[in-house]
């Protein structure tokens, strides 16, 4: 089996005052070993919830309604939380959470925060753990002495590097990166992305890269999964989805909305606003904003149609 | 700014507070004519002692009167009573700082000295013991319960605690003290009405200590009960907020054991704001101590304050305002140092 | 063509208290000169902390300047007091559009009142106010206006709020507008809408616009000219196509290289990244402020501050090695 | 704005603390208004501190309702009064009835006559008591002084203070009783013994084995004016039969009716709490607004001052101030205000600073709005709910602070407050003697009053700080 991770029929809902918010609604995909998959979507598309579900870090008002997440063939959602944390979390699958500052404890030295899982979950001695943490700090391009720094003494870019070092300290095979650069300037963003690329190669990581920025996704991903309104609307190789042939109108319009440095195209926009996931529109969730909408879109929810080699799109345009 | 510079700055600003309070107090004392009275009573006392001393040597009553009058004039000049009060400010200030304010009107030490400095030095430890024990117990209980409640927000226990802490805000400490005396001393006779020792105090040291504890139980309980509700509530809120921070969830995802997460990722982070809360509550604790001591006739500075008011002893009141401010400032400084230790963010 | 606003060697220093007695000078703007013409947009780009937002606010006199001159259509407004700015109608003629669509509208006020407030302040008549407000809402495509005037900000989407912001800026008929990152906080799919709206309004109302952004790619579509800022100074400025096609300053070159493009081929490449982080503006490097991160810095850059020199038509660069870079004898990448 | 206010009130009323607080506030205000409008405040407050006024009342007597709970019934204190009594040709006497029920004898009996006028010859007032068994005794004989030279009728007597006769220790009365016992009951007792054992036990008892047992039943007290010519008018006649229990709330060591004192406490307590809170909040918020909005040197000065004041332990300084300047209500309020503002100033300033950074304020500046307009239109609406909440939140602390000062003996002596009632109780060792009726009610009233505002504060919390419930992420 070549899949590092398989997600099947995952549904995650939030309980809110307005009723259930269907943040992730029947999502399935696989991640091959050594592969980078980018999950792209606007705010409210469910992409972050998906990431949190994979590493079982959902807020308390969220519940997994159905679905499976297989890692090495084992359904990790069926494990109790303590088992999952002991056997998979950070050892097999780790995550770089959104917002580096919030991921770090303000009153502990960053080095300690990197080293802790080695001591408490990896059986390493303090000395070993420190040495390893310092190696990791060096690996992400910071001096070893940064072990003794506190988060507030670091710049945003440095904190992001520390958080990345922290995620890799237990040698995980799968790494989820949730908007790792969204708060950074482009110059620092470029540094971090270069670093991430190096690390992916060096550790042969399987990566899930969550971002709202299609351009950034193209920087890292072998495959692109576009999410809209809690659902996968298109999934395929980066070359196909971003290159010649986006098959879902949303992907097409999203790509067209990106301002580019080169070329003659003028960016377009998608009118309307993303669906309210407490009461999504009937039929295709994109239909109120879709330029190609026809009557079937308003009535029936489209399934994922195969539109090419390993390429699917949720759109009636590709129906029979 | 280095940590020592920060500490020095803090010490300096607290010293400024202390001196300014003194200046303020002394100015009011001067402007209202109270300082004249304090000084003239010191002079009268010294003149009386002088008369006693020289009465043996000078037989002639007229000569004696002359000598005494001369001495009085001398004293009046040296104390500056012949000058307006604002010219005496610096010396008065110095007098207060060194507690050189003569004798108390009626209050005295156990041994019978009525020197204000003696009295205060005898009473100070009693107050410090009472207040610091109460604060320590308050925060021990408050933090333990607050953390426990924070683990189940919205529960019945949580709601009850929030409401009780609101009620405790409305209860006057001293009235609760009176109520406790009525219940536990008058009706149930479990505890004494007040004071520091039984009369006569037990001679054996251990029994004596036990006797003090027995006497301190009611006042400390009152101080704790009135304040602990708020401590629980605040601790709960702080802990609850921190528990929702991303880094706590990250720590769990990292596979760290739950008790480690609680200790290093929640409590460790909650310590600075909780400490801030202790610092903010300090002024109130001192006020509460004055009243509680009074109710339980605990022989500390609070009871002394009450006596001084009843006896209209200006000099004693002046000294006590100074001492309370001093105790407050010192306690605050100690807590500030502690704060710098627990919060690396202020150490830069 | 008419010059709307002109900044001459504008400096803005802040006194930053540090320690007991010590205070340091933060040079947010360290001698900026630029001008904007009627029907023209000037984009100011740079990393966070480079002083671009300060520049926008100083140009509107929302912040006082430390030294230099600001000329609005030839009149020196750099020393005017707030009352004078209002009485002489300068406040009517200069406006700002903010970044945050959430905090930029008073949550207690209705949309109609928000857009009407500038008119009230400048003493317009009731009838006139209503008419002007409706026209402004129509201009920003919040139609029909009567549907929006009675709503509260929280009932609108981010994009709609940003249009209210634009409408408020437009009601007084300004000749100069500062747009401070107007699209950075709204969803990617609606950004183009706001940008295009801004551009068309600029043309129809013949305004000069200062467009502040960290995103060079958006600047390309709205701005005729670009100024690249680094640590409170302009590193390079010129006509947009010129700067984007033939960037000269190493910082501009590297900044352009850092911008990702949606091209799947990218993942096989490493982007050319500027090393390190921007130095603290409290303690800026000597000479050329970029020398600490510049791959082609020489000794001279450390000691001597480069002047902003016109190397190509209307294309100015502050770099000692500009000529070598232009000739291709020195390569940044 | 108006929509917001209405909505806020609805949210407030949806909390039970809000409803309970509001109900309590209405009750407290009602009692205060009743006290102010119905009771002659000025007169009562001066009476309150006049021991002469309370001399007839039983000292440290528990309230009468304790009899409901206890086995041994305490004798209630009873006052018989007659107002505007007119003695003329036909009616020469008035009757007052006392229904005596109890196992113990009254402690004392007094007669007082207030504001008497007569024309003609000076009257002699005679008080006779008719026992339930029909025997009657003359208890007192009061000779009204004749006109002084130059005085013209109507002659006024007992104007300043009522003429008071402690009939239970009158020798004359004792002799009369001795005569009654000797003649009618065949039980010779000396007047001396009667005085010594307590005259009441003979007046209100029947002989039993050399002593007496209480004779329950209706006693008729008849006051007769013996006068040759002219008329007599008495404003108020009062006969007080002192028992062991008194009134609804009992009495203190001076004999003061605690119910009156407690009632007076309502308006005073509310006044001090609310007025101080309003002033403190007004000053604190204004300084905070100025400090936050003006910035610069003004800001610096205000903040330094506030910081400094915040570093002072409040109570010792307050004690000192009130002690030095005298315990007057306005001085107490002034001291509270002087030391109460800094906290709010610091908080308001930080809110204003936050607001000032918001882009809607900056855009108002950009369109040329004046400072005043920005303060009024943009900043004030944001902090107004907060300020109102603060007024309510501060009120109990000032009520408690005043009570504390009063308890330390630094309350304004011209106004009876709950704190002062407690102070006297504490100083007269009421606690050690178990006079709970003196200790508990004032404390409970202080708590209820403070709690009213605390509950309203709690009810206002969701209005002022709408916290996001639950977290949603997507």
Instruction: Delimit the domains of chain A by residue range.
Output: 3-92+173-268, 103-171
Collapse the DSSP code of C285 into the 3-class scheme (helix H, G, I; strand E, B; otherwise coil) and give the result. coil
Task: Chain D: give the shortest CA distance to residue C45, in Å.
Answer: 21
| Band (D2; pLDDT cuts 50, 70, 90) | very low
Q: Is the pLDDT of residue D472 over 60?
A: no
Collapse the DSSP code of D210 into the 3-class scheme (helix H, G, I; strand E, B; otherwise coil) and give the result. coil
Residue of D nearest to B330 (CA): D311
Question: Going edge to edge, which strands form the sheet with C315-317?
Answer: C94-97, C176-180, C208-213, C40-45, C225-230, C233-239, C315-317, C309-312
Question: Going edge to edge, which strands form the sheet with C23-37?
Answer: C23-37, C3-17, C67-72, C75-76
A259 touches chain C (CB under 8 A): yes
Topology agreement, domain D2-44+258-472 and domain D78-242: no
* B111 in a structural domain: no
* B110 in a structural domain: no
Task: Compute the residue count for chain A.
Answer: 320
Question: What six digits make up the tokens of C141?
Answer: 């495509």
Residue D470: predicted pLDDT = 30
User: Which of B251, B253, B269 has the CB atom closest to A106's CB atom?
Assistant: B269
**Phi and psi angles of residue A140, each rounded to the nearest 5 degrees, phi first:** -90, 15
Candidates A35, B86, A168, B14; CA nearest to D313 is B14
Q: How many CB pairs under 8 A join B and C?
A: 7
Do D471 and A48 count as a contact with CB atoms less than 8 A apart?
A: no
C-beta atoms surrounding D304 within 10 Å = 12
Residue D468: predicted pLDDT = 32
Do C264 and A261 count as a contact with CB atoms less than 8 A apart?
A: no
As a dihedral over the C-alpha atoms of residue D39, residue D40, residue D45, residue D51, rounded to 10 degrees, the angle is -90
Q: Which residues of B touch C18 (CB under 8 A)?
A: 1
Do B268 and A103 count as a contact with CB atoms less than 8 A apart?
A: no
The percent of chain C in helix, strand and coil, each rounded to the nearest 5, is: 35, 25, 40
Task: Chain C: give the shortest CA distance to residue A155, in Å.
Answer: 8
C-beta atoms surrounding C242 within 10 Å = 19
Do D358 and C117 count as a contact with CB atoms less than 8 A apart?
A: no
Residue of B nearest to C20 (CA): B9
pLDDT digits (tens, 9 = 90+) for A35-52: 999 999 988 899 999 999
Q: Which residues of A touch C270 (CB under 8 A)?
A: 194, 197
Domains in chain B: how many in total?
2
User: Cα(B95)–Cα(D39) distance, rounded to whole angstroms?
Assistant: 51
* B75 in a structural domain: yes
Interface test with D, best of A11, A45, A62, A102 (most D CBs within 10 A): A62
A13, with CB counted inside 10 A (0-12, 13-18, 19+), is: buried
| Band (A167; pLDDT cuts 50, 70, 90) | very high
Residue of C nearest to D357 (CA): C103
D467 touches chain A (CB under 8 A): no
- How is chain D split into domains, by residue range? 2-44+258-472, 78-242
C15 touches chain A (CB under 8 A): no
Comparing C214-223, D87-96, D372-381, the range with the smallest average pLDDT is D87-96
Residue C21: predicted pLDDT = 58
Do C118 and D4 count as a contact with CB atoms less than 8 A apart?
A: no
Collapse the DSSP code of D142 into the 3-class scheme (helix H, G, I; strand E, B; otherwise coil) and give the result. strand
Do B186 and D432 count as a contact with CB atoms less than 8 A apart?
A: yes
Question: What six digits make up the tokens of B343?
Answer: 């919060």
Decide: B169 and B229 in contact? Cβ < 8 Å. Answer: yes
> Cα separations (Å) of B293 from B131, B168, B306, B322?
10, 19, 9, 18
pLDDT digits (tens, 9 = 90+) for D64-113: 888 888 877 888 888 888 888 888 766 678 889 999 888 888 888 899 88
Which segments within chain A are labelled E, that is strand? 3-16, 19-32, 36-40, 62-71, 74-75, 93-96, 174-178, 206-211, 223-228, 231-237, 305-308, 311-313
Q: Which residues of C touch D369 (CB under 8 A)?
A: 117, 121
Sequence-separated (6 or more) residues with CB below 8 Å from residue B156: none
Q: Which CATH number fits domain D78-242: 2.60.120, 2.60.40, 3.40.1000, 3.40.1760?
A: 2.60.120
> What is the domain extent for residue B19?
3-97
Claim to verify: residue B189 and residue B328 sit in the same structural domain: yes
What does pLDDT average to over chain C? 90
CATH number at residue B289: 1.10.3720.10
Residue of A nearest to D472 (CA): A14
Q: Is the pLDDT of residue B15 over 50?
A: yes
Claim to verify: residue B250 and residue B318 sit in the same structural domain: yes
User: Cα(A301)–Cα(B346) distance, rounded to whole angstroms?
Assistant: 56
Interface test with C, best of D8, D366, D372, D376 (most C CBs within 10 A): D366
For the residues D406-415, what does the mean pLDDT come to? Answer: 88
Domain D2-44+258-472 indexed as CATH 3.30.499.10: no
User: Cα(C237)–Cα(C223) distance, rounded to whole angstroms?
Assistant: 12
Collapse the DSSP code of C12 into the 3-class scheme (helix H, G, I; strand E, B; otherwise coil) and give the result. strand
pLDDT digits (tens, 9 = 90+) for D262-286: 998 999 999 999 999 999 999 999 9
* B74 in a structural domain: yes
C170 touches chain D (CB under 8 A): no
Candidates D127, D154, D147; CA nearest to D231 is D154
Task: Chain A: give the shortest CA distance to residue B333, in Å.
Answer: 22
Write down which chains contact chain B via at least 3 CB pairs under 8 A: A, C, D
DSSP for D217-272, written as a single string: EEEEEEEEEE-SSS-EEEEEEEEEEE-SB-TTT-B-TT--BHHHHHHHHHHHHHHH
Q: Is the pLDDT of residue D466 over 80?
A: no
Cα distance from N-terminal residue to C-terminal residue, chain D: 32
Task: Chain D: give the shortest CA distance to residue C222, in Å.
Answer: 22
User: Which residues partner with A40 through β-bridges?
Assistant: A211, A226
Q: Each residue of C302-321: b (16+ CB within 10 Å) or e?
A: eeeebebeebeeebbbbbbb
C-beta atoms surrounding D295 within 10 Å = 14
User: Cα(B159)–Cα(B177) distance, rounded to whole angstroms?
Assistant: 26
Instruction: Using a cut of 0.80, tell me whether the model's pTM lies above it.
Output: yes
Predicted-complex ipTM score = 0.81
Helix axes C158-170, C188-205, angle to 10 degrees: 10
pLDDT digits (tens, 9 = 90+) for C133-180: 999 999 998 888 999 999 988 888 888 899 999 999 999 999 999 999
Residue of B nearest to D418 (CA): B175
What does pLDDT average to over chain B? 86
Q: Is the pLDDT of residue C309 over 90?
A: yes
Residue of C nearest to A215 (CA): C262
Residue of D nearest to C93 (CA): D367
Interface test with D, best of A22, A61, A102 (most D CBs within 10 A): A61
- The domain covering A3-92+173-268 belongs, at the CATH homologous superfamily level, to P-loop containing nucleotide triphosphate hydrolases (3.40.50.300)
Which segments within D46-192 are labelled E, that is strand? 78-87, 93-100, 108-118, 124-130, 136-143, 155-157, 163-165
Sequence-separated (6 or more) residues with CB below 8 Å from residue D211: none
Do C117 and D364 count as a contact with CB atoms less than 8 A apart?
A: yes
B269 touches chain A (CB under 8 A): yes
Residue B21: predicted pLDDT = 86
**Phi and psi angles of residue A35, each rounded to the nearest 5 degrees, phi first:** -95, 150
Task: Chain C: give the shortest CA distance to residue D394, in Å.
Answer: 26
Claim to verify: residue B133 and residue B258 sit in the same structural domain: yes
Q: Which residues of A touch D469 (CB under 8 A)?
A: 17
Claim to verify: residue B42 and residue B141 sit in the same structural domain: no
Task: Chain A: give the shortest CA distance to residue D345, in Å.
Answer: 29
pLDDT digits (tens, 9 = 90+) for C183-204: 888 888 888 888 989 999 999 9
In the block, residue with structure tokens 């029929």: A9
* B267 in a structural domain: yes
Do D315 and B286 count as a contact with CB atoms less than 8 A apart?
A: yes
pLDDT digits (tens, 9 = 90+) for D161-184: 888 888 888 888 899 988 988 888
Angle at B233 between CA B227 and CA B236, to 5 degrees: 135
Question: What six digits make up the tokens of B319?
Answer: 């000294």
pLDDT digits (tens, 9 = 90+) for B236-269: 989 999 988 899 999 999 999 989 999 999 999 9
Q: Is the pLDDT of residue B328 over 50?
A: yes
User: Cα(D397)–Cα(C27) distance, rounded to whole angstroms?
Assistant: 47
Claim to verify: residue B257 and residue B148 sit in the same structural domain: yes
Q: Which residues of A touch C333 (CB under 8 A)?
A: none
**Phi and psi angles of residue D140, each rounded to the nearest 5 degrees, phi first:** -155, 155
D354 touches chain C (CB under 8 A): no
């Amino acid at each position: 089996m070549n899949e590092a991770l398989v997600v099947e029929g995952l549904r995650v809902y939030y309980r809110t005052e307005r009723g259930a918010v269907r943040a992730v609604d029947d999502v399935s995909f696989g991640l091959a070993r050594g592969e980078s998959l980018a999950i792209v979507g606007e705010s409210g598309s469910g992409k972050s919830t998906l990431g949190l579900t994979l590493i079982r870090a959902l807020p308390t008002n969220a519940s997994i309604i159905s679905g499976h997440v297989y890692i090495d063939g084992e359904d990790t959602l069926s494990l109790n939380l303590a088992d999952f944390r002991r056997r998979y979390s950070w050892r097999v699958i780790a995550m770089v959470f959104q917002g580096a500052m919030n991921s770090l404890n303000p009153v502990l030295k960053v080095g300690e925060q990197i080293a802790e899982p080695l001591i408490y979950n990896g059986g390493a001695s303090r000395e070993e753990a420190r040495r390893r943490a310092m190696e990791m700090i060096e690996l992400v391009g910071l001096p070893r002495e940064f072990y003794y720094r506190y988060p507030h003494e670091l710049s945003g870019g440095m904190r992001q590097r520390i958080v990345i070092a922290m995620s890799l300290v237990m040698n995980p095979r799968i790494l989820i990166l949730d908007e790792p650069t969204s708060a950074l300037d482009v110059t620092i963003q470029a540094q971090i992305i270069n670093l991430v690329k190096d690390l992916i190669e060096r550790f042969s990581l399987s990566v899930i890269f969550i971002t709202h920025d299609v351009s950034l996704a193209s920087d890292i991903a072998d495959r692109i999964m576009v999410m809209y309104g809690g659902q996968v609307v298109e999934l395929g190789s980066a070359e196909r989805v971003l290159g010649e042939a986006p098959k879902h109108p949303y992907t097409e319009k999203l790509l067209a909305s990106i301002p580019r440095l080169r070329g003659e195209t003028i960016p377009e926009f998608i009118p309307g606003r993303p669906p309210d996931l407490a009461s999504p529109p009937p039929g295709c969730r994109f239909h109120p904003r879709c330029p190609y909408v026809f009557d079937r879109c308003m009535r029936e929810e489209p399934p994922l149609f195969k539109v090419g080699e390993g390429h699917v799109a949720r759109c009636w345009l590709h129906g029979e | 700014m280095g940590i020592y510079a920060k500490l020095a700055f803090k010490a300096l600003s607290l010293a400024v507070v202390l001196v300014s309070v003194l200046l303020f107090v002394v100015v009011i004392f001067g402007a209202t004519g109270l300082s004249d009275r304090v000084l003239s009573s010191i002079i009268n006392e010294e003149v009386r002692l002088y008369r006693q001393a020289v009465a043996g040597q000078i037989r002639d009553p007229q000569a004696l009167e002359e000598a005494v009058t001369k001495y009085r004039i001398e004293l009046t000049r040296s104390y500056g009573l012949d000058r307006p009060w604002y010219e005496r400010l610096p010396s008065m200030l110095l007098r207060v700082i060194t507690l050189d304010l003569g004798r108390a009107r009626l209050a005295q030490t156990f041994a019978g000295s009525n020197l204000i400095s003696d009295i205060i030095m005898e009473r100070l430890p009693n107050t410090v013991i009472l207040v610091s024990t109460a604060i320590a117990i308050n925060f021990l209980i408050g933090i333990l319960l607050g953390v426990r409640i924070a683990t189940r927000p919205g529960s019945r226990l949580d709601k009850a605690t929030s409401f009780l802490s609101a009620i405790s805000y409305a209860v006057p400490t001293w009235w609760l003290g009176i109520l406790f005396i009525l219940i536990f001393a008058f009706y149930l006779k479990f505890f004494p009405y007040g004071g520091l020792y039984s009369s006569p105090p037990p001679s054996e040291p251990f029994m004596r200590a036990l006797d003090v504890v027995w006497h301190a139980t009611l006042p400390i309980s009152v101080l704790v009960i009135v304040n602990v509700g708020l401590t629980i509530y605040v601790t709960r809120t702080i802990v609850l907020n921190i528990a929702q921070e991303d880094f706590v969830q990250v720590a769990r995802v990292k596979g760290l054991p739950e008790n480690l997460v609680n200790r290093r990722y929640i409590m460790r982070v909650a310590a600075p704001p909780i400490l801030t809360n202790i610092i903010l509550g300090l002024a109130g604790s001192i006020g509460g101590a004055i009243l509680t001591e009074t109710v339980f006739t605990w022989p500390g500075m609070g009871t002394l304050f009450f006596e001084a008011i009843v006896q209209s002893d200006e000099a004693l009141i002046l000294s006590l305002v100074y001492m309370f401010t001093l105790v407050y400032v010192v306690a605050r400084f100690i807590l500030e140092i502690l704060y710098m230790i627990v919060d690396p963010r202020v150490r830069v | 063509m008419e010059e709307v606003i002109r900044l001459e060697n504008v400096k803005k220093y802040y006194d930053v208290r540090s320690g007991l007695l010590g205070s340091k000078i933060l040079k947010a703007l360290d001698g900026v000169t630029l001008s904007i013409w009627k029907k023209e947009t000037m984009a100011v780009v740079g990393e966070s902390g480079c002083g671009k937002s300060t520049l926008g606010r100083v140009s509107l006199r929302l912040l006082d300047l430390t030294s230099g001159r600001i000329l609005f259509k030839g009149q020196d407004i750099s020393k005017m007091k707030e009352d004078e700015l209002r009485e002489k109608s300068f406040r009517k003629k200069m406006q700002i559009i903010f970044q945050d669509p959430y905090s930029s509208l008073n949550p207690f006020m209705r949309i109609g009142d928000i857009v009407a407030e500038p008119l009230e302040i400048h003493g317009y008549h009731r009838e006139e106010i209503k008419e002007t407000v409706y026209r402004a809402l129509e201009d920003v495509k919040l139609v029909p206006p009567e549907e929006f005037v009675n709503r509260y900000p929280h009932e609108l989407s981010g994009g709609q709020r940003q249009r209210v912001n634009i409408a408020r800026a437009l009601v007084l008929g300004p000749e100069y507008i500062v747009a401070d990152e107007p699209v950075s906080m709204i969803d990617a799919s609606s950004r183009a809408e706001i940008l295009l709206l801004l551009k068309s309004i600029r043309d129809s109302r013949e305004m000069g616009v200062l467009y502040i952004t960290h995103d060079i790619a958006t600047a390309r579509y709205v701005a005729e000219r670009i100024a690249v800022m680094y640590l409170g100074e302009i590193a390079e400025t010129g006509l947009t196509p010129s700067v984007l096609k033939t960037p000269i300053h190493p910082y501009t070159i590297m900044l352009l290289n850092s911008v990702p493009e949606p091209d799947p081929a990218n993942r096989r490449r490493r982007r050319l990244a500027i090393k390190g982080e921007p130095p603290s503006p409290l303690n800026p490097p000597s000479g050329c402020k970029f020398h600490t991160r510049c791959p082609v810095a020489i000794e001279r850059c450390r000691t001597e501050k480069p002047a902003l020199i016109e190397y190509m038509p209307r294309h100015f660069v502050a770099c000692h090695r500009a000529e070598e870079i232009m000739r291709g004898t020195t390569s940044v990448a | 704005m108006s929509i917001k206010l209405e909505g806020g009130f609805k949210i407030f009323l949806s909390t039970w603390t809000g409803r309970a607080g509001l109900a309590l506030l209405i009750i407290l205000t009602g009692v205060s208004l009743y006290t102010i409008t119905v009771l002659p405040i000025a007169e009562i407050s001066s009476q309150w501190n006049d021991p002469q006024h309370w001399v007839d009342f039983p000292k440290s007597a528990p309230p009468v309702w304790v009899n409901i709970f206890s086995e041994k019934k305490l004798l209630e204190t009873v006052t018989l009064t007659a107002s505007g009594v007119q003695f003329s040709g036909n009616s020469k006497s008035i009757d007052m009835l006392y229904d005596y029920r109890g196992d113990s004898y009254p402690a004392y009996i007094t007669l007082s006559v207030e504001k008497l006028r007569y024309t003609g010859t000076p009257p002699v007032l005679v008080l006779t008591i008719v026992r339930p068994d029909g025997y009657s005794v003359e208890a007192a004989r009061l000779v009204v002084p004749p006109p002084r030279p130059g005085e013209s009728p109507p002659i006024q007597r007992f104007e300043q203070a009522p003429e008071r006769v402690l009939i239970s220790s009158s020798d004359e009365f004792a002799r009369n009783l001795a005569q009654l016992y000797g003649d009618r009951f065949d039980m010779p007792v000396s007047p001396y013994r009667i005085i010594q054992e307590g005259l009441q036990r003979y007046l209100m008892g029947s002989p039993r084995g050399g002593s007496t047992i209480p004779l329950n039943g209706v006693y008729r007290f008849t006051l007769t004016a013996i006068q040759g010519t002219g008329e007599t008018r008495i404003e108020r006649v009062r006969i007080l039969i002192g028992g062991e229990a008194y009134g609804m709330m009992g009495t203190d060591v001076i004999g003061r009716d605690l119910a009156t004192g407690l009632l007076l406490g309502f308006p005073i307590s509310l006044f001090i709490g609310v007025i101080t809170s309003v002033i403190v909040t007004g000053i604190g918020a204004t300084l905070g607004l100025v400090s936050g909005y003006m910035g610069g040197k003004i800001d610096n000065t205000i903040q330094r001052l506030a910081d400094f004041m915040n570093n002072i332990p409040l109570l010792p300084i307050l004690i000192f101030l009130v002690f030095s300047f005298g315990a007057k209500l306005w001085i107490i309020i002034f001291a509270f205000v002087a030391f109460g503002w800094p906290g709010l100033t610091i908080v308001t300033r930080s809110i204003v600073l936050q607001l000032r950074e918001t882009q809607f304020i900056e855009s108002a500046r950009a369109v040329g709005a004046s400072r005043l307009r920005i303060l009024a239109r943009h900043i004030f609406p944001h902090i107004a709910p907060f300020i109102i909440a603060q007024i309510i939140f501060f009120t109990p602390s000032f009520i408690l602070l005043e009570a504390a000062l009063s308890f330390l003996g630094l309350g304004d002596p011209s106004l009876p407050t709950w704190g002062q009632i407690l102070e006297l109780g504490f100083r007269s060792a009421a606690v050690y003697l178990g006079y709970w009726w003196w200790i508990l009610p004032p404390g409970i009233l202080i708590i209820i009053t403070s709690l009213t505002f605390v509950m309203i504060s709690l009810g206002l919390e969701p209005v002022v700080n709408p916290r996001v419930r639950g977290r949603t992420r997507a």
